[in-house]
Every structure is written in C-alpha cells, then in structure tokens.
Amino acid sequence: MERLAGRIMLLAGVRRAGLAFLAGALGALALPPVGFFAVLFVSFSVLVWLLDGISGNPDRSHSIGLRSAFVTGWLFGFGYFTAGLWWLGNALLIEADQFAWALPLAVLGLPAVLGLFYGLATLLARLVWSDSMGRIAALAAGFGLAEWLRSFVATGFPWNAIGYGAMPIPLMMQSAAPLGLFGVSTLAVFVFSAPALLGTRKGQVPGLVLAVAIAVAHLGYGAFRLHQPLPEGAETLTVRLVQPVIDQAKKLENADRIDVFNEHLALSAQPAEPGKPQPDIIVWPETSVPFILTDHPDALARIGDMLKDGQVLVTGAVRAEDQGAGQAPRFYNSVYVIDDKGQILSASDKVHLTPFGEYVPYEGVLRRFGFDNLIRLPGGFSAAPQRSLLTLPSGLGLYPLICYEIIFPDEVEIPPGRVSAVINLTNDAWFGATPGPYQHFQQARLRAVEAGLPLVRSANSGISAVVDPLGRIVAGAALDARGAVDSTFGVSNVSIWNNADRNLNFWLVILAVALAAGVSRVGFIFRIN
C-alpha cells in the first residue's frame, strides 16, 4: 500500500490529471443503478494521495500548491459528474433538430461547472493539510461545505451528492434523518478517505478507528430504525399509481393529445384485483394532461365519469393564469386534485423550476451577451411564490413535489400535523433507459426518510412506487413497465427530526472535522519547524 501511495504521489502532468479524472469517474459506480459504494474507498484514497503529492513537493510555492489542489479536485469532480450525468444529453435528442447543438453543454459543460465545487473542496482542504489523520478530516470538511453550497448556488443542483453513495439501501439511509444529506456526505468522505492512511502510516490507528466507529454507528442506527415497528396509522390509504409510458415525442404532438389522455383514463379505470380494495386516490404523473385542463370542461367531466364514488384523481397538468388584456398568460407546472364530479378540489404549482428545462435563468444577462441559442432552450413556466398543500376530501394533506423539486432536501419543509404523505409526480421519459430515473428515485426515497412520511410517486415511464417512511419500497412499477399499481398503506409519521435539526447537526459535524483538521495542521507546523 505504501508503495502504491508513493507512486501516485510522484505522478505529474497528464498522468496525474488522468488519474484524478478516472478516480472521480470510478466513484460514479457508487450511484444507481450500480450502487457499488465500495468504489468510493478507492476514489477518495487516490484523491488523498494525489493531494499528498502536492503537499510533499518543497519546490511548490503556497499559491501554486493551492492552484494544483484546486485543479486536482476539479478534475476529480469533472470525472465524477461526467460519468454520473452523461444521460442528461438524452433529453436533447428528443427534438434533436432543435437542441442537439446543446449536447456538449449538457454532457461536458455541466460536469465542468459542477467540478468547480469539488475544486473548491480540495482547495479548502489544502489550506489546513497535514501528514496525519487531520488531512482526511480537512477533505471531509471541504467536501461537506462544497455539497452544501451546491444545493443553492446558481439555483442549486445537489444531484448525486457523495452522501448518496453511502446510502444505497434502507439500512444505510437512516442516518439522513438526523444528519441530512450534507451531514452524511461530510462523514462519508472521512470514512471513504480513511484507507489512504494505510499508505502513509501517520495517524493510521486513530483515523481508521474513528472511520470504523462512524461506519458502525451509521449501520447500527439504520438497523435500530428498521427494527422499530411503524406507528399504527389512524387511517389507511389505497392508491393507484398510473404509469402509462407515453413516448415523449408523442406527448409533444398536438394530434396525439386525445389519445394520450384516453390512455391515462383506460389505465385508471381498470378494476381492482379480486379481494383488494378500490383505490381511494388515483395518481397520474407530471403534466399527464396534455392540454390546459380548465379550458376543456368535457375532459373534467370524463375524469368525473371515470372515477368511482368517493375517489379522487391527483394529476399533473399545466395551469394557465390570465394576466389581463394585452398581457400574455402565465403558465405553471401544477398538480390538481379532482373529485368524482369532475371538480377541482385543490391545486399546487411548482416552486423550484428546472433551469433550461422550464425557464432560462439569467435570461437578461444571456441576451445581453448574445447567447440567443441558450435563450431558445425549453422554458416558459413561472414559479409559484410558495408551495400549497393538497387537501383530500377526507381531510388528509399531501405535500406535493413536482419532478426536480424532490432533489432538494430543504424543499421538504413539512408543517407539523398537517401532512400524511409526500407526493412526487415526475416525467423521467426525457432520459430514457439511462441511470437518470434510478438516481432520481433514490433521491426521492431519501426525502421520505428525512421527512419520516410515506412517499407516493408516479412517473410517466418509471420508477413509480409507494415508499414507507423508512425508505422501503411497498409497491411499485419498474422502469418502462406500463400499467397501474395499487397499494394500501397506513398513514404514519415517524419523524422526530426537522430541517432545522438536520442543518444544526450538519454544522456540528463540519465544526468537528474542521477542528480535527486544524489541530492536526497546528501539530504539523510545529513538527516541521
């Protein structure tokens, strides 16, 4: 191990850059659908040794060392995000004649930008780098801060945070409830970096002991939570998840819109299995209704005719809002609750829009600098100023998150006592049979764990599922499996933590690893002087 570490430290030039990129790309195998988290031990150990090589070169000035650390982290991030997000380009091929030109921006441009956050992480770590356990604590602090910044800077994009690699199954998801995604990400980097200590010996025993203790606590807390019975719900819900698998190109064709609507109705009207209860709620995916529903009272009437007495439909649809004479209407990506009389009982609009998919961020700036092609990317939606809860006739509340919104941990701010489940409507057909839908689904499951509530998820092409408050799949439909799935579950809430608790615990974790890094750095300075 020492020999391997030494060889990596001495690398320079193209070989050094290539290894940093490959180490990051290898780490993407920890993400769905592969989910082989152990590769991150290799990725982060290599990263530590590459950074050791910078620190160990006496010919480098401080500023050059910082620059080298930044570039190494950026290359690592560029590899990680390129390997983990290449599937974004699939959406641009749906209408290739208009948007294929943007393929390099999606496949390489976005990873290059996201890599800057990991460059910042290694730069921060370099500031307090040492030759002992403290350096992996410094790296953990740097990555924790970088992942937190990535959740809101430039509209935010916390997709595939390192913490997801440490939480592939429910046993390993439970730490997200008290620590949140970013707290888990911070500690995960410490644990995944610990094998690097075997290559340099200094700080080996305390570092490995602490890493093992964190891993054992992570698994132990998961086992404890999973062995606790869910509280008895006062009510049960039976939901039908409709997964129509409508081709995205078909959804965009005006001539096919009635056929698309009819397919949803046909799947919804299927009889329940013998001996099984009729659904209380039928759930359609994001933008299932391919026209402005309120402009078509006949469509509302057909929905009412399809529903049995007491049933409601929860569906994604586009909502138009008139702005008055001479003003163009505003359009919202919305969710409706519709009863058996064809009446809209409740509605909620999307708050956090997808950049370059539903709107163009910084449009004025882009227009000023002549980026007309970017401005012509899909958009046209308005964001709601605040999220509205969906209320069912029974009085139960649903917390709606449309597609992209569910990747943001802070978006799930559950009002106490008013919400029975999180509901997520999405359309991942844009990305085809790629890792994208699997990654999206894992992030949705983590929101259920954090909120301590059941998750009801309907996706056009998958993955649709009912997930319990501990992240376990109760029922669902696989990717590209057309049909309807019924599931009955108890309405239960196991949450004892909220976002404020998770944010506080995250900063306590950051403080702990930063102190460890600082103490180690001070000791290192005194030794060399």
Angstrom distance (rounded) from CA 442 to CA 64: 40
For residues 19 and 76, give the distance between their C-alpha atoms in angstroms, rounded to a whole number.
8
Taking the C-alpha atoms of residue 411 and residue 444, their distance in angstroms, rounded to an integer, is 12
Residue intervals of the chain classified under CATH 3.60.110.10 are 236-351+386-489
pLDDT of residue 372: 52
Map tokens 């949450």 to a residue.
495
Respond yes or no on whether the N-terminal peptide bond of residue 463 is cis (omega within 30° of 0). Answer: yes
Per run of 10 residues, the mean pLDDT along the chain (length 529 residues) is: 88 95 98 96 97 71 84 98 93 76 88 97 94 94 98 92 97 97 98 94 89 97 93 82 88 78 94 90 94 91 94 94 80 94 94 79 57 54 89 91 94 83 93 94 97 95 95 95 93 86 97 92 66
Would you state the pLDDT for residue 186?
98
Catalytic residue set: 286, 350, 403
- β 281-283/312-321 pair status: parallel
Superfamily of 236-351+386-489 according to CATH: Carbon-nitrogen hydrolase (3.60.110.10)
Q: What are the respective helix, strand and coil percentages of the chain, to the nearest 5?
A: 55, 15, 35
Look at residue 528 in the predicted model and tell me its pLDDT: 58
pLDDT value, residue 236: 86
